[in-house]
Structure formats: structure tokens, C-alpha cells
Amino acid sequence: MIANRMQTIDSSGIRRVFDLASKLKDPINLSIGQPDFDVPDSIKNAAITAIQDGYNGYTQTGGIPELRNKLKVKLEADRQKSYEDLMITSGVSGGLFLAFLTLINPGDEVLIPDPYFVSYKQLVKFVGGKTVFVDTYPDFSITKDKIEQAITPQSKILLLNSPNNPTGQVIPKTELIEIAQLAQKHNLMIISDEIYDLFVYDEPFHSISAYYPQTLLLSGFSKTFGMPGWRVGYAAGPKEIIQEMMKIQQYTYVCAPYPAQKALLNSLNHDVSDEISNYKRKRDIVSNGLKSDFDIQTPGGAFYVFPRAPHGDDQSFVEKAIDNNILIIPGSVFSERNTHFRISFATSDKQLKQGIDILNQL
């Protein structure tokens, strides 16, 4: 009864860790990829008002026009770049799925730097594409030379995620410009997942879309405002692609939640600089706390670190950590290698310091 395509799709390895940990009592949780701060009260109140005022039905497929227009103006000012079109998606995950359905034919190759966000590989499989991994070990840098080695005549799309989940690495401007030139040379489409664009700690954020017109930019508000459950993201880029994505959204997600769209309308400039500074401080706590016992690259963004597991065996180390009441994620969930593990530092200072102590003991 089950469709053949499901045989190619694996369950999330993150869920398997949660299953292993389900019997733990009050674990030290360094696994969750979501902010530990709550939605700002002003945005909560705006959503409550929207619900009470009756904004509970469907919206236009691409989102309410006033939010699309306001977000496009803000994005163009932030990126110093004009975008032909913009739509509201059901989170970045929804935008990814729509983009893949729109752009990938069976057999098309999608270049994905490894390590990568867990959904990328599975969604490419789902639509019949072929994933070609760009090895970024040991320092996780994403460079023109590494990408060029992976390009073949079948390469169609380059998928970038900066800042990166799970490594926290940020692609610098100089590399982005060289990657844009490479994409132009090989006529590649770029999809840029920029959900962590505000979580950059040591340098200004730069978007590949500012240097390469054939870029589809995906981002959203789950991380910025601590609202992953609200499911509001956006896609910006070539009008032809956005229009086709909206066509598919009609028959799948329909629209992003109306009250959430209304709540965000006057909140796009809400200041989260204090939260970002707090995460930079947490980044330093975990990096400094682990560097004497682990091979670790200090992340430039997001809220993850990706240390090398002792003896290069992620599964056994993660199981040992769970036995000691601490939750981390094996690196093989995010990579074709099984040598590292992911820590999220989006947690309390107390849990973070307890976790560091236990990991160093292990």
C-alpha cells in the first residue's frame, strides 16, 4: 500500500535521539534547534488582537499583500538589492519544498555542502533529484574551489545555508562573490537558506543574493522572534519562480496562518539585538568550555557548535551522553560522515555549563 518513494526517505535522526531519551527525567537538553526566548509580548498581543478581530480564515496564496509589500521593502533595504517578487511561505521548510518541486526534475543534481540541514537530502530525494555533496571538512568552510570540484554537466542547483546548521559557519563576503562568479560560469541556480541571518556574531551578514541575480532567498521568523510553531517564512527572487511556487502552494500549504501574518505586519523591525548579544555570549561559553578537550571550530553564527566526537564515533558518544542525562545529536544526522556531534547552545546558562562539564568528563 505504501508508495515506493517512501522507501527512499529516512526518519529524522533527531527524532531517534528523542526516542532514546524519552525515559530521561529532566535531561540537560543541548539538542533543540529553536531559540529559548519567547515570542515578544507585542507580537503575541498583535496575534491575539488579529484572532479576536476575525482574521482566522484563508489569505491570498502568496500572503496578505500588505505584509508582502512591507517585507519586500525591508528586505531590499537590508540587502541593498531589488527582488522581482516575494511570497509568504509556511516556514522556511515549506519554502524549500515548494522550491524543490518547482525547480528540480528527476535526475537533476543539487550541490549541497556537507554538513547540511537534515531536510535537504530527504526533500531532494522526494522530488527525484540527485544530491551531490560538497565536502567542507575539516574547517567547514564553503569555498569556490570545493564547490567547483563537485560540479558536473547535470548540476542545476547550489543550495547554501549561511549561517549554517549544524556548524554555525558563516560564508564571508569574499567567498560569496567568488561563488557567485562560479555559479554564473556554470549556469547554476542558487537557493540560499538564510533563516539565521540575524544570528551573526563577528562580522556583518552578507547574502549571496546581493551578488547573483539567479538566487532564490528563503528566510523567516521562527528563529528571529522565537516562533517556530507559527509557521511564517518567505521566499524572494525571480518572479517566474515565485509565481510557480505560489501555484503549488495553492494545492499544498494553502497559505501561512492569517493571525501570524497580521501580527508580523507591524513587527518586522522589532529589536532583537539583546537576544543576539546573549547568544554570542553563550557561543563563547560553549566554545571556550570545550576547546581544551574537543576538536572544535568556533561558530560565527546560528546557535550550534559541531565538535568532533571522541574516537570519531558519533553514535557511541551520543549514547554515552544520553546515559549521563544529556541530549546531543549525532553528526551523521547532518552529514555523510559519522565523526562529529551537534550541540545547540539555545538553552539556559545553567544547563549549558552543566552540559559542558559532563561532556568534558566523558
CA atoms within 13 Å, Cβ hemisphere of 253:
29
Residues 158 and 195 in one domain: yes
Rounded distance between C-alpha atoms, residue 71 and residue 272, angstroms:
17
User: Binning pLDDT at 50, 70 and 90, where does residue 185 land?
Assistant: very high
User: Binning pLDDT at 50, 70 and 90, where does residue 205 land?
Assistant: very high
Rounded distance between C-alpha atoms, residue 179 and residue 148, angstroms:
9
Residues 121 and 8 in one domain: no
Residues 226 and 325 in one domain: no
Residues 98 and 240 in one domain: yes
Least confident of 26-40, 41-55, 248-262: 26-40
Mean pLDDT value across the chain: 94
Task: Please indicate, yes or no, if residue 203 is contained in any of the structural domains.
Answer: yes
DSSP structural state of residue 213: S
What is the average per-residue pLDDT within 253-263?
96
Please identify, among 219, 247, 264, the residue that sits at the C-terminal boundary of a domain. Answer: 264
Task: Please indicate, yes or no, if residue 119 is contained in any of the structural domains.
Answer: yes
Q: Is the pLDDT of residue 40 over 70?
A: yes
Nearest to 154 by CA among 102, 109, 89, 204: 109
Please identify, among 264, 294, 314, the residue that sits at the C-terminal boundary of a domain. Answer: 264
Residues 209 and 82 in one domain: yes
Number of compact structural domains in the chain: 2
Domain span at 166: 57-264
Residues 35 and 74 in one domain: no
Task: Please indicate, yes or no, if residue 45 is contained in any of the structural domains.
Answer: no
Q: Is the pLDDT of residue 13 over 90?
A: no
Rounded distance between C-alpha atoms, residue 291 and residue 343, angstroms:
13
* CATH number of the domain bearing residue 189: 3.40.640.10
* CATH number of the domain bearing residue 340: 3.90.1150.10
Neighbouring residues of 277: CB distance < 8 A, sequence distance ≥ 6: none
Residues 321 and 172 in one domain: no
Q: What are phi and psi of 272, to 5 degrees?
A: -115, 25
Element (H, E) at 134: strand 130-135
Residues 62 and 19 in one domain: no
Residues 284 and 342 in one domain: yes
Residues 116 and 256 in one domain: yes
Task: Please indicate, yes or no, if residue 316 is contained in any of the structural domains.
Answer: yes
The distance from CA 226 to its chain's CA centroid, rounded to whole angstroms, is 14
Task: Please indicate, yes or no, if residue 44 is contained in any of the structural domains.
Answer: no
Q: Is the pLDDT of residue 15 over 80?
A: no
Neighbouring residues of 92: CB distance < 8 A, sequence distance ≥ 6: 193, 195, 218, 219, 220, 222, 233
Please identify, among 239, 264, 289, the residue that sits at the C-terminal boundary of a domain. Answer: 264
Rounded distance between C-alpha atoms, residue 196 and residue 33, angstroms:
11
What's the sign of the alpha-carbon dihedral 16, 22, 24, 27?
A: positive
Task: Please indicate, yes or no, if residue 218 is contained in any of the structural domains.
Answer: yes
Residues 100 and 133 in one domain: yes
- Cell numbers for 235, please give them: 521566499
Q: For the chain, what percent of residues have pLDDT higher than 70?
A: 97
Residue 165 has what pLDDT? 97
Q: Beta strands of 167-206 (E only): which ranges? A: 189-193
Q: What is the pLDDT of residues 121-157, one digit of tens each?
A: 999 999 999 999 999 999 999 999 999 999 999 999 9
Rounded distance between C-alpha atoms, residue 290 and residue 296, angstroms:
8
Q: Is the pLDDT of residue 158 over 70?
A: yes
Cis peptide before 106 (omega within 30 of 0): no
Task: Please indicate, yes or no, if residue 48 is contained in any of the structural domains.
Answer: no
Residues 88 and 234 in one domain: yes
Q: Is the pLDDT of residue 202 over 80?
A: yes
Task: Please indicate, yes or no, if residue 47 is contained in any of the structural domains.
Answer: no
Rounded distance between C-alpha atoms, residue 355 and residue 351, angstroms:
6
